[in-house]
Amino acid sequence: MTVSSLAPAPAAYHHPVPADTRFAPASLPALLAETVARRGDAPFLHFLGRSYSYRQIFAAANAFAHGLINMGIAKGDRVGLFLPNVPIYAAAYYGAMMAGAVVVNFSPLYSVEELAWQVGDSGTRLLVTLDVPELYATAHKVLDGSALETLVVASLAEQLPWYKGLALKLLKRSQIAEVAHGPSVKAWAEVQAPWSWAEWQAGKVPPLPEVTAADLALLQYTGGTTGRPKGAMLGHDQLSVNAQQVAALNPFGDPAGEVFMGALPFFHVFANTALLNHAMVTGASIAMVPRFAAGQVLETIARYRCTGFPGVPTMFQALLDHPDLARTDLSSLKVCISGGAPMPAPVHVRFEEVTGVRVCEGYGLTESSGVVAANPYEGLRKRGTIGQLVPGTEAILLDKEDPSRLAPEGEPGELAIHGPQVMRGYWNRPEADAETFVVREGKRYLRTGDVARIDADGFLEIVDRIKDMIAVGGFKVFPSVVEDVLLEHPAVKEALVIGVPDAYRGEAPRAYVTLNEGASATGEELASWLNARVGKHERVDQVVVRASLPKTMIGKLDRKALRAEVL
C-alpha cells in the first residue's frame, strides 16, 4: 500500500460490498418515486406518536412542487428550508426538488443577520418555516429586510397526533406564532396544489419539470476548509450516490426493516445523507424528534424499536448522563454511528459497556455530501479511527506544507478525497474552488483540511485540522493529541486545546475543560497532571476549568468559536 492511494485491496476491505463498487446516480425525486412504488404504505417518518407513510410524504411533496410552480418558482430557483426536524421538512425538501428548484438548508438556530446573509448569498426566493414564535419572527424580519420574496409557514400543531395538536392550540397558544398572512406570507396548506393521489396515478396532474441526476439539488452552507460560510453545490448525482454508499455499509439483511433514530438535525448534511436520503433509498423509516433531548431520544428508541442511531459524540455522552438510560430497553439497536467530531475514548468504551451496543466512528464533510469513511458495523473495527473509505471512494495524503506534493511515505498528511459524492464546487466562489481542489493523475481531489494517517489495514485516523495545528517554536502541536491525554483524567468531561500568543515561542497550547458531575479538580492540578504526560513542546501554559464549552449547531465541540471568544 502506498500513500498515493488509500483505498485498500479488496481482500482487506471489511465493508459488505467490494471497495470498487459503483452506484448509479439518479435524481432524488426519481428514487423517492421508486420507493413509493415498492413500499408506498410503509412508514417513512414517525413523529411524536404520529406516523407518515411514503405515499403521504410523496403526495405532500408533489402538491408542494405544483404549488411552487404556480407561484412562479422556476427550475434552478433556490427554495430555503428554515425548519427543525418536522415531517414538513421531508415534503418540502423533496417537493422543491420535484419542481426543479435547488434546496438551501438553513439552521433554525441562525440569527436574523446570519439567515439574511445566506439568503442573499444564495439568492433564495422562497423560504419555508414553522409557526414557532422564534423561527417565524426571525424569518419575517429577513423577509422584510432582504430580497426574499415569499415566506411559507407550516403549522406545527397540524403535524402532531390530533390530540397533541389540539392541546397545543388550546393550552399552549403562546407557543404558536401569530402569522400575518398576505401576498408574501402564505400558509403551507395554501400553497399545496389540490391534486389527489388517485389523480396523480391516473395521469391527470400536469407534468413537473424534468429533473435529472445532472441537476443541482442542494446548496449546503459550510465554513469549508477556510474562511466565511460558502454554499457547497451538491447535485442529485452526488446526494443519490452517497445515500447508496451509506446503505451499502449495512450487513444486517433487509434494509427496509431498519428504523433509524432521527435526532440529528435534518438541515445538517450528516442527517441529510445518513438519515433522510439513506432511509428513502432503502425504504426504511425514521423515528424523529424535533431536537435532541436525551430523555425523549431514549423513549423514542424504545417505543419504535430503533435499530440504528447516527449521532455526534455529545449525544452519546448525554445519554450516558441520563438517569433513564439504565432502565431503557435498547435491545433493538444493532449499531450506533458517531460522526461530526472525534469520539473521546472514555465515552466510546463506557457507552458500549453500559448499553452493549457497538459504536462505529465515521467521517465526512459537507463538501463530500456527508460521508467519506466509516468503521464496519460488524467484524474488524478500530476505535479512534474513522474506519475505511466507503465504496467507490479514493484518497491521497498531501504534504502538510506543500499540497502540490504527496506526504512522505509513512507520515501523516492532509487527507484529499476523490469520489462520486464530492461536491461540484462552491456557489459563486471560483477562487475558493482553486484552493480546495487539487488534481493528480487526471483526478480531482477535495482537500479536506484534516491531517490523517493510514494503517496497514486501510483504516484512517484523523490526527487534526491543518488550521488548528499550533506552532510552538519550530514544532507543530496537534491539539487533539493533548485533548486525548486530558480526557484520560477521571475528572475531565470535555476538553479543547487552542494556541494562544506567546512572546518567546510564538504560540503556546492552552486547554479548556469541563468536569464530570461531582468531580473536583483545579486548573493548576490538571495542568500539572497533563504536562507530566506530554512532550515538552505540547505542555500547556494553563488549564482553564469552565462550566461549558462552545458547541456547533449539531452539538460537537467548536474549537473555532472558542478561539474567537478567547482571542
| pLDDT value of residue 203 | 74
DSSP string, 421-446: TS--EETT-HHHHHHHEEEETTEEEE
Q: Which three cell numbers stand for residue 472?
A: 510552538
| pLDDT value of residue 340 | 82
Over residues 271-281, mean pLDDT: 97
DSSP string, 72-96: T--TT-EEEE---S-HHHHHHHHHH
- pTM, two decimal places: 0.86
Confidence of residue 228 (pLDDT cuts 50, 70, 90): low
Over residues 294-312, mean pLDDT: 97
Q: How many Cβ atoms sit within 10 Å of the Cβ of residue 494?
A: 22
Whether the pLDDT of residue 417 is over 60: the answer is: yes
**Helices marked H in 211-305 — which ranges?**
236-247, 269-271, 278-282, 294-304
Confidence of residue 6 (pLDDT cuts 50, 70, 90): low
| pLDDT value of residue 3 | 37
Q: Name 305's Cβ contacts closer than 8 Å, sequence gap at least 6.
A: 259, 332
User: What span, in angstroms and rounded, lies between the C-alpha atoms of 310 and 266?
Assistant: 12
251-269 per-position pLDDT tens digit: 999 999 999 999 999 999 9
Whether the pLDDT of residue 224 is over 50: the answer is: no
User: What span, in angstroms and rounded, lies between the C-alpha atoms of 28 and 25?
Assistant: 9
Is 78:111 a contact under the CB 8 Å cutoff?
no
Residues of the chain above pLDDT 70, percent: 96
∠ Cα 356 494 83 (to 5°): 80
75-101 per-position pLDDT tens digit: 999 999 999 999 999 999 999 999 999
Cell 459497556 locates to 353
Over residues 304-329, mean pLDDT: 94
DSSP, collapsed to helix, strand or coil, labels residue 163 as helix
Is 507:540 a contact under the CB 8 Å cutoff?
no
Instruction: Calculate the dihedral angle through the C-alpha atoms of 237, 240, 243, 248, rounding to the nearest 10 degrees.
Output: -90
The DSSP output letter for 408 is: P
Looking at 12-26, 41-55, 224-238, 259-273, which range is the least confident one?
Answer: 224-238
Greatest alpha-carbon pair distance for the chain in Å reads 77
Is 3:413 a contact under the CB 8 Å cutoff?
yes
Give the side-chain half-sphere CA count within 13 A for 62.
23
| pLDDT value of residue 200 | 65
Q: Which three cell numbers stand for residue 237?
A: 448525482
| pLDDT value of residue 166 | 84
| pLDDT value of residue 68 | 96
Domains and CATH numbers, the chain: 10-18+286-464 (3.40.50.12780), 28-211 (3.40.50.980), 469-566 (3.30.300.30)
Looking at 187-201, 255-269, 534-548, which range is the least confident one?
Answer: 187-201
Selection from 530, 442, 426, 316 nearest residue 434 by Cα: 426
User: What span, in angstroms and rounded, lies between the C-alpha atoms of 565 and 414?
Assistant: 27
SS3 content of the chain, % helix, strand, coil (to 5): 35, 25, 40
| pLDDT value of residue 197 | 61
SS3 assignment for 198-214: HHHHCCCCCCCCCCCCC
Phi, psi dihedral angles at 437 (to 5 degrees):
-110, 150
How high does pLDDT run on average in the chain? Answer: 92
| pLDDT value of residue 225 | 41
396-412 per-position pLDDT tens digit: 999 988 999 999 988 99
Whether the pLDDT of residue 4 is over 80: the answer is: no
**Helices marked H in 345-421 — which ranges?**
345-355
Is 482:509 a contact under the CB 8 Å cutoff?
yes
| pLDDT value of residue 1 | 30
DSSP string, 140-162: HHHHHHSS--EEEEE-SGGGS-H
